Structure 1
Amino acid sequence: MANLLVLQSVWGLDKCPGFDIENDLDAALERVVAAGFDGVGVNIARVARTAGVARVMNPRGLAWEGQVLVHHADQLAAYIEEAHRLGAHHLNVQVAGPVAYLSDALALVDSLIPLAEAAPLPVWFETHRGRLTNDLLFTLRLLEARPDLPLTGDLSHYPVAGEMELPLRADQLAAIETILKRCRNFHGRVSTTHQVQVAMRAPQHAGWLDQHIAWWRRGFEYWLAQAGSDDALTFMCELGPPPYAITAPDGRELTDRWEEAQDMRDIVRGIWREVNGAP
């Protein structure tokens, strides 16, 4: 039966009280494992940190996501080789951009897709601000031309980049639906019209929490409709440190990011049980 793997971002532990990923990464990772996460995600460009992740996760058979930013095909080829060598579960790719012209975007994507298709591990392309997929309408044009592009859906970026307001318009909902149909992997945080990461349980953000939950549920349904019996869907809780996390005038974060990550993990597993019919 297909299953869900919920990961914790290593970046999401940076400056998080109780964690010291710079000086005691192993202890931080052990705490993530003890909390019941199925693995972590790490930026492969951080060589020492990635080696630490592989050292802790691989012997346990736990999954870890390699994350990279690529500007051209040679970079992606090298990262694929490194991720496979180190034992990554999959590779998550942010493609540099944005670019002004669709023809330029297609040329870049067309140089990357053959490498992804031939890779010895899954390779997915993330929806992200400040990257090739910065603009939702531009991304829709890209997907219209390359409908088989496999995505990592980080939907938190689009409400901010497009200054979306609740209730969302029908065309906005349809646009996100198009994204969800291509998602093979998810990154999670709750965003709003003006902030990319807000306190999930704050009452003023309840509508946006509900919207993101609805998107994740729909994405899981689409994924299950095409998944094989032995496939695994990965979802990474990616609550970032300041300035992603909003801070008070004294510089302290408004919420406990670690508690929120565990809350998100439980929400996501609950959604999975609902859509997968699991007990």
Structure 2
Amino acid sequence: MSNLLFDGRELNMEEKFGLIAEAGFQGIDAFTPEPGESAELWRTLLEQYGLALSVNVYPRSIEDMRNALERAAAYGSIRAVNVQVLTPFVTGDAAVTLLSGIADLADEYKLPVNVETHRGTITQDLIRTAEYAERIPNLRLTADLSHYVLAGEMLNVPEQAEAYFQLLLSRADCIHARLSNGEQIQVDIGTDGSHPMLARYGQWWQDGMRSWQQSHPEGGSLLFVPELGPPPYAITIDEPTNRKREISDRWEQSLTLMRYARSLWDSI
């Protein structure tokens, strides 16, 4: 919703909540509200519009992660915590130790914690991330496969990558919906979902949904987030006025992804 204009202006906080709820979304992915008036406003609006809240954190250490979970636990009513571990050059046993500690903290605080597969973080390498998942049984993930498609310039996905994707999807409690074409991180899928890569991502997403259903016979809900960022994620046209105009309507594309995800879920 950042820098997203409706009739030439950005909506205020309550207008954004109302639009999100009216469109049929069930929650908001944001950050742990700051204590004080901000936290109370968020609490009021979430309750008023019947929306869940998941939050993002960016630790570099176990201490950072504990502090983030303390804040989340103090706020309460947080559906899940999405984690980008900002140590891209930590590898091997040191990475396993850090990720194991984060997974153990999730158990300690009884909060769903999902480490995101993301460029520039501890999970930036597909092969190493698959190894971490194999070595840490309680590590849960947010699967954003667009980062691996881009980093590996996977205009066509090799069989070896597919096997790794399936392993990570089997451990995902959250899916981030963004399409990379192997050259750009966030491409325009068309409001009718006509982009040729959408069916390929749809198969991955449905595989993740199916794995989640099989591993959660007690039910619950898998998080699916149409995660379309503003520039520089969104592709822009540089105009003579030095204004960067997005080529996509992020809101309409988010609606398309929401509807598409529900159709995938319903067809399992």
Q: Please give the TM-score of this superposition, normalised by the length of structure 1.
A: 0.86
Residues 153, 46 of structure 1: alpha-carbon distance in 2 compared, 3 angstrom cutoff: farther
What does 1:1-279 correspond to in 2, within 5 Å? 13-18=1-6, 20=10, 24-44=12-32, 52-86=41-75, 87-166=77-156, 168-201=157-190, 206-250=195-239, 251-275=244-268
Supply the distance in 2 between the matched residues of 1:246 and 1:51 (Cα, whole angstroms).
35
Residues 46, 69 of structure 1: alpha-carbon distance in 2 compared, 3 angstrom cutoff: farther
Q: Deviations over 1:219-242 (max 9, x none)?
A: 000000011334111111110001
Supply the distance in 1 between the matched residues of 2:39 and 2:161 (Cα, whole angstroms).
37
Name which structure has the greater RCO, CA cutoff 8 Å, separation 6+: 1
8 Å Cα contact 1:44/1:66 also seen in 2: yes
Matched to 1:234, the amino acid is: L
Residues 45, 109 of structure 1: alpha-carbon distance in 2 compared, 3 angstrom cutoff: farther
Bigger shift: residues 115-124 or 170-179? 115-124
Deviation at 1:26, TM superposition (A): 1.6
Structure 2, unaligned runs of 5 or more: none
Matched to 1:265, the amino acid is: M
Give the aligned length: 260
Bigger shift: residues 140-149 or 47-56? 47-56
Structure 1, unaligned runs of 5 or more: 1-12
Equivalent pairs: percent with the same residue?
31
Bigger shift: residues 55-64 or 123-132? 55-64
Secondary structure of 2:195's match? Answer: helix
Secondary structure of 2:153's match? Answer: coil
Q: Please give the TM-score of this superposition, normalised by the length of structure 2.
A: 0.89
8 Å Cα contact 1:43/1:50 also seen in 2: no
Deviation at 1:248, TM superposition (A): 1.1
Bigger shift: residues 50-59 or 243-252? 50-59
Report the aligned-residue RMSD.
Answer: 2.2
